Chain A
């Protein structure tokens, strides 16, 4: 097995690139999509796009959990944060996400006196609730299958501690239904998927077999080092050239076909599938997670009687098309002028994982 060092500094990059180019010569233009925000960042940081032949295009799909959270849900969170009895605990990249009236975001609400804390883990939110019995701590459970087990474990811990001033606003999403919706959309123009290594570590690589089986599309579960990405791109290009789509697990260092059964069991214990709204994709059946009724005391929705306001998208913002890979960040009229990482209009510019933030920070 190749060492971790190989993946950071592969010696055979020119050879891999030659092979990718050879495949692309046979097929014509290839459009590949990554559906993981950490892949978007890793691609940008490694400068891979500057090395690939122009006929191989990498697109960022709905893989950034912050980016796919609709503006109306952010509006609801901002409204909640204005209650002085509530402390919002969330991952750092949610702080700057504007609702439908930019630049209002959690970071501006915090400057106006709201109780907002960035945490690295939901467990930190539990500690905050213990330290502040006078406040209601609401953890924003955002993410895909990667962050879902930690969120589930945290709800179980709160239940075990009988912690009454802690709850979770569950905004968790599932990867597969979103990919299916994307593929079935009329403007879908992608030839293969870089499948998310972190998600697959939980769900198992087998979860992505539907790509070749149901849609005749190749998929490669990839890690995050430059060589992981290059090897995955080569495997996708050669499957496209040979017209033999299948699902390949390149990230065998971490991902098993069956995934992590303990994590999956935790998720199943605490959550059940629910319909869910995605920015750019709309409402997708069974694409989210909902906290099971037995854990309702730790579910912020019934606890605070929350209702998601009617969707109101941001004027001029093309995040919805960027998330589906229909437009590249630079094709949005707001990119780099009105919308920058310092004052983002749309969510793709906010999170470090967002396609627009990556394109802005690392050039393209």
Chain B
């Protein structure tokens, strides 16, 4: 017997979400632009276009380092960037719950305007719906974006043993900050802030150097789940060294308290890059010069030791397999 209703796990970005896509969505809509399941689709045009959409339901709607408005711009901008695009046009749709404060809506709109300007994207169309009190969690936002396609990325099939894995900054800040904000653990002076930021400068600099097989922003499911998606069913494995993965001490502390694993916590302003080994140093040098890329690091290597798997070398030299996030991350008991 299988589940007959949608549970929260289907929105986790992990295994259950993948099942939903494979069993329901791909069979209905499969086409060459959709089937690579990239962050954005590359479609015909002069030049070619990149197209992506994302919905934002984060609770609480404001968190240290951002709010749902900033997130709704960064999420779609970053998806366009990861597909090799330069962000251009954005649609903006609100679903607002009756009773939501105007002052809060103003703050969200001003975040959107500020972030769109930073990322060089223009809001060109939109929609607003209001639902009855009790039928929404304050505010939901959907954004879709169009970008000009600048660079063809070959994708995960081009990954080869010896390639390097780069991460543009520390892991798990956004997920940890939101979970901590949800439990009331944070105040305004807290050192834990979301990494939410647009990646257009970091991605443009990396693409300018070349040698990139695939780029992805590790949102839901975190760094571990994204790397599992790269390796799944492929003739290579990915080996990470835990001491090379930057994790901010406040993230480590909060994850320890809440029973979470930083490698499975979402990032909203980081990118994972798989690149040819000779390009990793020049890419890292370029990233280090851009705000938000100062802590970019090489976190692992592609090997052929255990095809299809992601392996982690632990701090004491042990080794374990990383698997995809299976459902929503749940706090543990002790």
Contact = CB atoms under 8 A, between A and B. Distances in A.
Contacts of B261: 45
Interface in B301-334: 312-323, 326-327, 330-334
Interface in B246-296: 258-259, 261
Nearest to A226: B316
Interface string A55-76: 0000000000110000000000
Contacts, number: 127
Given A38-B334, A66-B333, A226-B314, A47 B327 contact: no
Interface stretch (A88-96, A187-195, A323-331): A88-96
Nearest to A43: B318
A93 B320 contact: no
Contacts of A340: 15, 326
Given A65-B333, A352-B259, A352-B332, A227 B316 contact: yes
A13 B16 contact: no
A51 B317 contact: yes
A47 B315 CA distance: 9
B333 A8 contact: no
A8 B261 CA distance: 15
B5 A108 contact: yes
Interface string A36-48: 1110010011111
A143 B327 contact: no
Contacts of A227: 316
A37 B321 CA distance: 19
Q: How large is the interface on B (under 10, 10 to 19, 20 to 34, 35 or more residues)?
A: 35 or more
Given A45-B320, A51-B317, A118 B331 contact: yes
Contacts of A363: 320-321, 323
A111 interface: yes
Nearest to A49: B318
Given A91-B332, A93-B332, A362-B320, A9 B5 contact: no
Nearest to B333: A91
Nearest to B327: A342
B178 to A, nearest CB: 14
Interface string B1-14: 11101111100001
Contact of B333 (A108, A147, A341): A147
Interface string A13-55: 1100000000000000000000011100100111111110000
A54 B321 CA distance: 19
Contact of B316 (A13, A147, A198, A361): A13
B183 interface: yes
Contacts of B243: 9
Contact of A112 (B5, B19, B319, B320): B5
Nearest to B264: A361
A297 B314 CA distance: 49
A304 interface: no
Interface in B1-44: 1-3, 5-9, 14-16, 19
Contacts of A360: 323
B330 A118 contact: yes
Contacts of A107: 7-9
B330 A95 contact: yes
The interface residues of chain B, by DSSP majority, are classed as loop
Contacts of B322: 362
Interface residues of A, number: 54
A37 B333 CA distance: 9
Given A103-B2, A108-B5, A361-B323, A96 B318 contact: no
B332 A92 contact: yes
B333 A143 contact: yes
Contacts of A343: 2-3
A163 to B, nearest CB: 20
A320 B8 CA distance: 28
Nearest to A105: B7
B326 A341 contact: yes
Contacts of B313: 47
Contacts of B7: 107-108, 110-111
A342 B326 contact: yes
A38 B257 CA distance: 12
A247 B313 CA distance: 32
Contact of A342 (B9, B259, B332): B9
Contacts of B330: 92-93, 95-96, 118, 352
A108 B14 CA distance: 18
Contacts of B183: 120
A111 B7 CA distance: 5
Q: Which of A66, A111, A120 has the most CB of B within 10 A?
A: A120
Given A46-B318, A342-B327, A103 B1 contact: yes
Given A96-B327, A340-B326, A48 B318 contact: yes
Nearest to B224: A361
Q: Which of A45, A94, A230, A360 has the most CB of B within 10 A?
A: A45
A110 B312 CA distance: 35
Contacts of B16: 342
24 contacts: A13-B317, A14-B317, A38-B334, A41-B332, A48-B318, A65-B334, A66-B333, A91-B332, A92-B331, A103-B1, A108-B5, A110-B7, A111-B5, A111-B6, A111-B8, A118-B331, A120-B331, A143-B333, A226-B315, A230-B316, A351-B333, A353-B334, A362-B322, A363-B323
Lowest 3 CB-CB distances: which A-B pairs, in order? A47-B318, A363-B321, A92-B330
Interface of B: 1-3, 5-9, 14-16, 19, 183, 243, 258-259, 261, 312-323, 326-327, 330-334
Given A111-B8, A362-B322, 8 more contacts: A37-B332, A38-B334, A46-B315, A47-B314, A108-B5, A120-B331, A143-B334, A340-B15
